[in-house]
Amino acid sequence: MAAPVSSVSHRPHHIIVFGATGFTGRFVAEEVARCAAERTGGGSLKWAVAGRSRQRLEEVLERAAERLSMPEVRTDTEIIVADVSDEESMAAMCQQGVVVLNCVGPYRFYGEPVVKACVENGAHYVDICGEPQFLERMQLEYHTKASDKGVYVIGSCGFDSIPADLGILYTHRQFKGTLTAVESFLKISSGSKGMCGHDTTWQSAVHGFADSGSLRQLRKKFGHKPLPVVGAKVQKRGFVFFSKEIEQYAIPFMGSDPSVVKRTQRFLYDEEQQLPLQYSAYVGVGGLFSVVKFFCGGLIFWFMTKFSLGRRLLTRFPSFFSFGVFSKAGPTMKQMEDTCFSLTFFGEGYSENTDPSKGRPNAKICTQVIGAEPGYVATVSAMVQAAVTLLNELHSLPRRGGVYTPGAAFYKTSLIDRLQNHGIKFSVRDHQ
């Protein structure tokens, strides 16, 4: 940690990792342990793990102590038994922590009781959700309650969507003039064994696609007027196209990044009078064979999400229907070690002293965010650094609480610098 943790509360724990027995939760617990060991200047980071099974939580601490060669993790870390179906246990957990890191997904099924308990019991909340419907519904239903309580609820603090959301902020700050539009291209590189995701992420995708109509209805409830388009309007790309930028075929990115970035842009426009950016997100899928495989698999996936039997089959056999990209076991350590990501941003706008309402953009910028395996290495680092930033820089967050995106919550903090020191690198590649 870069600074001592502030004495923001009399609570016994600064951080509680809820769902520490899950696939991602185990890695989050290890990363919190590392951060606690990094403390400087006499500060201390007190933390606990929480979940349904004391025995499994003990096994998580045992594994962490062994992997990190830190026996104190096993002996000094408190265990809290809590279950999303038991309101009393959730309240008791939230009353013991300053920040709760929620690692229990899919969030559409298990997330709201944690948000509710945090808001009602005064604990800040951070998750790694990539489900736009859950994220936006929490904003609609809990923003005012959280604000009244002085509680921060900050979703999507993992790979979805800190690299994209903070990458846009970084690009905006590095641009000399008026930045008006950004396209991002995600490229994931893996070794001979390929990349793999855990079953929970697959389940979130299955149910999210199946219920996409509800998201459109939800967005109408906000009553937002469209954000103004500044500068020349950017033409949307086709569904599949060859990207010269990353030298492979690309498709629109179907994760939460566009939703999260747009919410941040709306916040900055409403609260900071910052002109909003046009944003489009794409992901590389490889060569022609990969395009065909993706198209066929995507068509089957889309069709099967429309029926309950199809959804049951998809969630029961994730490896088969995802061509091995997702599995109930998740990636091996070797797969994680051999995988990395790059998220490249191509921005355009108007140089200083140029009127954006006249003519085409005359200035460009290219920035990049790179990191290790996105799902369980970069995500874990981003989540924990978001929590540490929340603890140390509460005074720099907006207002006095509410439901926020990472960009809205952390745009005045040192989170980008913290990420730079924890394996997620931001850089300018070109500026014309």
Q: Please write the tens of the pLDDT for every residue from 347-395.
A: 999 999 899 888 899 999 999 999 999 999 999 999 999 999 999 999 9
Residue 125: which residues within 8 A CB-CB, separation 6 or more?
A: 99, 100, 102, 114, 115, 118, 119, 151, 152, 153, 154
Has residue 10 got a pLDDT over 90?
Answer: no
Q: Are residues 411 and 368 in the same domain?
A: no
Q: What is the pLDDT of residue 27?
A: 98
pTM of the model: 0.95
pLDDT in the model for residue 8: 46
pLDDT at 41 (0 to 100): 45
Is pLDDT of 5 > 90? no
Q: Which structural domain range is residue 60 located in?
A: 13-158+378-417
Tell me, what's the pLDDT at 43?
A: 60
Domain assignment present for residue 319? The answer is no
At residue 279, φ and ψ (nearest 5 deg) are -140, 135
Q: Supply the pLDDT for residue 294.
A: 87
pLDDT of residue 326: 92
Helix (H, G, I), strand (E, B) or coil at 166: helix
Give the CATH number, domain containing residue 411: 3.40.50.720
pLDDT(399) > 90: no
Q: Does residue 389 share a domain with residue 253?
A: no
pLDDT of residue 210: 87
Q: What is the mean pLDDT of residues 113-127?
A: 98
Percent of the chain topping pLDDT 90: 84
Q: What is the mean predicted confidence (pLDDT) over 161-177? A: 97
Query: Tell me, what's the pLDDT at 171?
Result: 98
Beta-bridged to residue 100, according to DSSP, are: 16, 125
411 in the same domain as 369: no
User: Are 214 and 253 within one domain?
Assistant: yes
In this prediction, residues 276-301 reach a mean pLDDT of 93
Determine, yes or no, domain membership for 313. Answer: no
- The confidence score (pLDDT) of residue 316 equals 94
pLDDT in tens, 59-81: 999 999 999 999 999 999 999 99
For residue range 262-271, list pLDDT tens digits in order. Answer: 999 999 999 9
Mean pLDDT over 229-255 rounds to 92
C-alpha to C-alpha distance for 382 and 126, rounded to whole angstroms: 11
Q: What is the pLDDT of residue 7?
A: 39
pLDDT at position 38 is 83
The pLDDT tens digits for 23-55 are: 999 999 999 999 999 864 446 899 999 999 999
pLDDT at 6: 40
Kindly state whether residues 240 and 359 are assigned to the same domain: yes
Q: How high is the pLDDT of residue 9?
A: 54
Burial of 174 (0-12, 13-18, 19+ CB in 10 A): middle
Question: What distance in Å separates the CA atoms of residue 45 and residue 381, rounded to the nearest whole number?
Answer: 16
Does the pLDDT of residue 276 top 80, yes or no? yes
Q: What CATH code is carried by the domain that includes residue 223?
A: 3.30.360
Instruction: Identify whether residues 223 and 118 lie together within a single domain.
Output: no
pLDDT tens-digit readout, 243-261: 998 899 999 999 999 999 9
More confident residue, 172 or 210: 172
Residue 21, in any domain of the structure: yes
Q: What single letter denotes the amino acid at residue 366?
A: C
Question: Do 281 and 366 belong together in one domain?
Answer: yes
Percent of the chain with pLDDT over 70: 97
Q: What domain count does the chain have?
A: 2
Q: Which residues contact 217 (CB under 8 A, 6 or more apart)?
A: none
